[in-house]
Chains A and B, each alone.
Chain A
Amino acid sequence: MDAELAEVRALQAEIAALRRACEDPPAPWEEKSRVQKSFQAIHQFNLEGWKSSKDLKNQLGHLESELSFLSTLTGINIRNHSKQTEDLTSTEMTEKSIRKVLQRHRLSGNCHMVTFQLEFQILEIQNKERLSSAVTDLNIIMEPTECSELSEFVSRAEERKDLFMFFRSLHFFVEWFEYRKRTFKHLKEKYPDAVYLSEGPSSCSMEIRSASRPGFELVIVWRIQIDEDGKVFPRLDLLTKVPQRALELDKNRAIETAPLSFRTLVGLLGIEAALESLIKSLCAEENN
């Protein structure tokens, strides 16, 4: 028995140390150091390759490092791009020195765990004064399709034919998505008996229950919204489930005002700290 108890203590200590190593999951923009470092490294390689750019192999290497850089910078990894051009200029247009060209593009790639395939058309009209380019058709296929928060955004991007907004928002959405997943996982591991992810860590809700307080349940709903302008922001809501008796005893109406107070808490402490403080408050006695 003693040997086992000793093993339990040793394991608990190691787990605590490992947790510390995994703690503080970085906020979306905090993986900056990775970009800064790769920035430096690419520049270093590039300096060496810069001098003899006529060589085909060197040229390829140079371009590949450019690609690598762009991929790290945008967070978007484009794997394939093909293009077809069709000249739609009629003889009538040529007489007026108007040129009309239709480009058909197909590109595919991924942004972290989301893969996309785009097909779009760009119509270019060149007249004497200016060149105008417009996206005339946009089709987007995304996987995985269970990111329901994304499908609404995708239809809006297709409707507006807004390619740039699609990529920009995708980048930020995926960062928030990963951050939410990491945070939920981290909290589940830290408080395995209090936190429940009934729909998995990739979903938008997390439940907090305490064995010592049956009947009480706090549900955090953390949605990632994309507004009309393509801006991505988190929206957190708190739902409470409380026994009838508790409601009767609640003279200060704390439960009624909880959702609003929660929003304030998030504003003050930040998402993670707010969630953690909620967990601690419900499971105060069990907290070791």
Chain B
Amino acid sequence: MAGILASGLGVLAHLERLETQVSRSHKQSEELQSMQAQEGALGTKIHKLRRLRDELRAAVWHRRASVKACIANVEPNQTVEINEQEALEEKLENVKAILQAYHFTGLSGKLTSQGVCVCISTAFEGNLLDSYFVDLVIQKPLRIHHHSVPVFIPLEEIAAKYLQTNIQHFLFSLCEYLNAYSGRKYQADRLQSDFAALLTGPLQRNPLCNLLSFTYKLDPGGQSFPFCARLLYKDLTATLPTDVTVTCQGVEASSTSWEEQRASHETLFCTKPLHQVFASFARKGEKLDMSLVS
């Protein structure tokens, strides 16, 4: 009993001590509060500044670390365990599959003994077209060993601007030019192969496929005067022309219906791919034929 009483007293004493402590600290805090009222603004300011400094420190550290990590990621993963043959082979298959997937980004490549061979794939509206390669040798300065880029694409210009300072930009820029060229070529090829019936003469085109000239009739049998179209693609990274002129020879200048048609054709060539414009001409032609029958 005595033991419990003693401990009970001990607890009481402890509680009393706590009580006095609390009331003392209350008094202290009241005094402090008045002092703090004066220094309140300063304290909050320090608190804010400390937080800002910590955030900035973290940001700078993070920046430096991410640069380092990028370079570190590039080094081989040296902790690859020596698993069974199967596990390794499965991993190999996986990696090969992912490498293959890069072709679909338009930019892919293989490491070579001297550097890297980058493969640029081109496409136009879902149609996968030609691929081109650029073989880069890693030396100072970075050098193009050989390539399959057509001679009329300004490769040297693009390389002079970006190759030494920013490989990524060099390749993406080259990608733009090659994709646009591929797209223009595709449109011209489709026009020649699919809509030869509507053309009244050969399609004239330059190797870069940025200057096209042709004559056509909407209604091959009937319409007496063909339209003459000239398409100029000044922007080599675009697949739509910048300047279009459509003329209709042998027609009186005052004829408004011809003028309307002519103007609408100009707009069409500016806004839609070439072969699609002709596809719509062909469809209209079919409708006309039907009306003749009925």
Taking beta carbons and an 8 Å cutoff, which residues of A are in contact with B?
A: 1, 4-5, 7-8, 11-12, 14-15, 18-19, 21-22, 29, 32, 34-43, 45-47, 49-50, 56-57, 59-70, 72-76, 78-83, 105, 107, 120, 122, 132-136, 138, 160-165, 167-168, 171-172, 189, 228-229, 231
> By the criterion CB–CB under 8 Å, are A160 and B138 in contact?
no
B1 within 8 A of A: no
**Which residues in B have their C-beta under 8 angstroms from that of A21?**
56, 60
Taking beta carbons and an 8 Å cutoff, which residues of B are in contact with A?
A: 39, 42-43, 45-46, 49-50, 52-53, 56-57, 59-60, 63, 67, 70-71, 73-77, 80, 82, 85, 88-89, 91-92, 95-102, 104-111, 113, 115-116, 118, 121-123, 125-128, 138, 165-169, 171-172, 175-176, 179-180, 237-240
> By the criterion CB–CB under 8 Å, are B85 and A81 in contact?
no
A132-B60 Cα distance, complex, nearest whole Å: 51
List 14 additional A-B contacts (Cβ < 8 Å) besides A45-B76, A167-B105: A5-B42, A12-B49, A29-B166, A40-B138, A41-B71, A68-B73, A69-B74, A69-B116, A73-B167, A81-B98, A82-B97, A135-B126, A164-B106, A168-B176
User: Can you offer 28 A-B residue contacts whose CB atoms are under 8 A?
Assistant: A1-B39, A7-B46, A15-B56, A18-B56, A29-B169, A32-B167, A34-B71, A36-B165, A38-B71, A45-B74, A56-B88, A59-B92, A60-B91, A60-B92, A64-B77, A66-B99, A66-B109, A66-B110, A68-B74, A72-B70, A74-B168, A81-B101, A105-B101, A107-B104, A133-B127, A164-B122, A168-B106, A189-B52
The residue of chain B having its C-beta at the shortest distance from the C-beta of A45 within the complex is B76
Shortest distance in angstroms between B46's beta carbon and chain A's nearest beta carbon? 6
Within 8 Å by CB of A39, from B77, B123, B167, B180, lies B167
A1-B101 Cα distance, complex, nearest whole Å: 65
Shortest distance in angstroms between B225's beta carbon and chain A's nearest beta carbon? 33
Shortest distance in angstroms between A23's beta carbon and chain B's nearest beta carbon? 10
Given contacts A32-B166, A38-B71, A65-B74, contact A162 B125 (CB under 8 A): yes
> By the criterion CB–CB under 8 Å, are A72 and B53 in contact?
no
> By the criterion CB–CB under 8 Å, are B99 and A67 in contact?
yes
The residue of chain B having its C-beta at the shortest distance from the C-beta of A1 within the complex is B39
The residue of chain B having its C-beta at the shortest distance from the C-beta of A30 within the complex is B166
Shortest distance in angstroms between A15's beta carbon and chain B's nearest beta carbon? 5
Q: How many A-B residue pairs have CB under 8 A?
A: 209
A4-B171 Cα distance, complex, nearest whole Å: 55
Within 8 Å by CB of A38, from B63, B70, B76, B102, lies B70
Given contacts A11-B50, A73-B167, contact A107 B101 (CB under 8 A): yes
> By the criterion CB–CB under 8 Å, are B128 and A135 in contact?
yes
Shortest distance in angstroms between A102's beta carbon and chain B's nearest beta carbon? 14
**Which residues in B have their C-beta under 8 angstroms from that of A34?**
67, 70-71
Shortest distance in angstroms between B77's beta carbon and chain A's nearest beta carbon? 7
A37-B107 Cα distance, complex, nearest whole Å: 19
Within 8 Å by CB of A78, from B80, B98, B125, lies B98
A12-B46 Cα distance, complex, nearest whole Å: 9
**Which residues in B have their C-beta under 8 angstroms from that of A172?**
172
**Which residues in A have their C-beta under 8 angstroms from that of B239?**
229
A161-B138 Cα distance, complex, nearest whole Å: 36
Shortest distance in angstroms between B137's beta carbon and chain A's nearest beta carbon? 10
**Which residues in B have their C-beta under 8 angstroms from that of A189?**
52, 56
**Which residues in B have their C-beta under 8 angstroms from that of A122?**
128
Shortest distance in angstroms between B249's beta carbon and chain A's nearest beta carbon? 32
Within 8 Å by CB of B111, from A42, A160, A171, lies A42
**Which residues in A have their C-beta under 8 angstroms from that of B42?**
1, 4-5, 8
> By the criterion CB–CB under 8 Å, are B126 and A162 in contact?
yes
Given contacts A59-B92, A66-B110, contact A35 B168 (CB under 8 A): yes
> By the criterion CB–CB under 8 Å, are A163 and B70 in contact?
no
**Which residues in A have their C-beta under 8 angstroms from that of B52?**
15, 189
Shortest distance in angstroms between B100's beta carbon and chain A's nearest beta carbon? 7
Q: Which of B102, B169, B171, B172 has the most CB of A within 10 A?
A: B102
**Which residues in A have their C-beta under 8 angstroms from that of B98?**
67, 78-81
> By the criterion CB–CB under 8 Å, are A73 and B53 in contact?
no
Given contacts A56-B88, A133-B127, A135-B126, contact A43 B138 (CB under 8 A): yes
Q: Which of B101, B118, B238 has the most CB of A within 10 A?
A: B101
Shortest distance in angstroms between A149's beta carbon and chain B's nearest beta carbon? 20
> By the criterion CB–CB under 8 Å, are B49 and A11 in contact?
yes
**Which residues in A have their C-beta under 8 angstroms from that of B91?**
60
Given contacts A56-B89, A78-B98, contact A37 B71 (CB under 8 A): yes
A132-B39 Cα distance, complex, nearest whole Å: 78
A34-B116 Cα distance, complex, nearest whole Å: 17
The residue of chain A having its C-beta at the shortest distance from the C-beta of B235 within the complex is A229
Shortest distance in angstroms between A131's beta carbon and chain B's nearest beta carbon? 10
> By the criterion CB–CB under 8 Å, are B88 and A4 in contact?
no
